[in-house]
Homo-oligomer: A and B are copies of this chain.
Amino acid sequence: MAMTDDEKLMTAYHEAGHAIVGRIVPKHDPVYKVTIIPRGRALGVTMFLPERDKYSQSKIALESSIATLFGGRIAEAMIYGEDEVTTGASNDIARATTLAKNMVTKWGLSDKLGPQMFTKDEYEEELGAASGDTLKIIDAEVKRILDENYDNAEKVLKENEDILHAMAKALMKYETINSDQIDDLMARRPVRSVDDIDDDDLSTDDSEEDKHDGIPSTVHRSL
């Protein structure tokens, strides 16, 4: 199923949005490759290089992940307008919501609720949130975390809209850009050409990571 140039460009802006936010927010795994070659249900993919195996995620790293997940959708809205925002960000939204929900109900990372478990425990008994009042606070905290990081990602992209255009353009030209090229783009330098991109690096098998509470090691615009 061939993509039109319009679709490719929208995907390029979407992935560039992920990549730029991922590069700028604190404590995020380094973005090392972005592609608009479709694979499976992904129209494009942004890839992160975990510098080392991580034992646990800090609050600030989780928030940066949420911001990066929102980057694609925000780029669409900035370039095409809110009315043209597409259903393509649904996977990003699901993962960001999962992270925010876990922060509040499982990892004790909401100041308002404190270190309490609000999910089932390991013996499948319901813990914590029983009353409507508590559920209301959980909802509000999840929304707050999502909103704050959406706003943060939007601020990052608005301050770097020139890079967004440049990266989308580079993706239309090369289809895949690597870490060095992303460095050029982030530094507002001319993008170096790439002679040889090893196709193995592009593997997008994120099934393993998806099981770890939705912590993204790739993000993609989905079919």
A contact residues vs B (CB 8 Å cutoff) = 1, 3-4, 7, 11, 43, 52-53, 55-60, 62, 70, 73, 80, 82-90, 92-94, 96-98, 101-102, 106-109, 111, 114-117, 121-122, 125, 127-136, 138-139, 142-143, 146-147, 150, 210, 213-214, 221-223
| Known A-B contacts A83-B59, A115-B93, A116-B93; A128 and B101 likewise in contact (beta carbons under 8 Å) | yes
For the complex formed, measure the closest distance between the CB of A208 and the CB atoms of chain B, giving whole angstroms: 14
B86-A59 in contact (CB<8A) = yes
CB nearest neighbor in B for A73: B115
A101-B114 in contact (CB<8A) = no
For the complex formed, measure the closest distance between the CB of A106 and the CB atoms of chain B, giving whole angstroms: 6
CB nearest neighbor in B for A101: B127
**Interfacial chain B residues near A4, Cβ < 8 Å:** 52
A214, B115: Cα distance in complex, Å: 16
**Interfacial chain B residues near A117, Cβ < 8 Å:** 90, 93-94, 97-98
**Interfacial chain B residues near A102, Cβ < 8 Å:** 87
B85-A97 in contact (CB<8A) = no
13 contacts between A and B (CB under 8 A): A56-B87, A57-B87, A58-B83, A58-B84, A59-B85, A85-B109, A90-B106, A93-B108, A98-B121, A114-B147, A130-B135, A132-B135, A133-B136
B122-A55 in contact (CB<8A) = no
- Known contacts A59-B84, A114-B150, A133-B136; 19 additional CB pairs below 8 A are A55-B88, A55-B223, A58-B80, A58-B86, A73-B115, A85-B109, A87-B213, A93-B115, A94-B117, A96-B116, A97-B127, A97-B128, A98-B121, A114-B143, A115-B146, A116-B146, A121-B214, A132-B136, A134-B139
A184, B43: Cα distance in complex, Å: 39
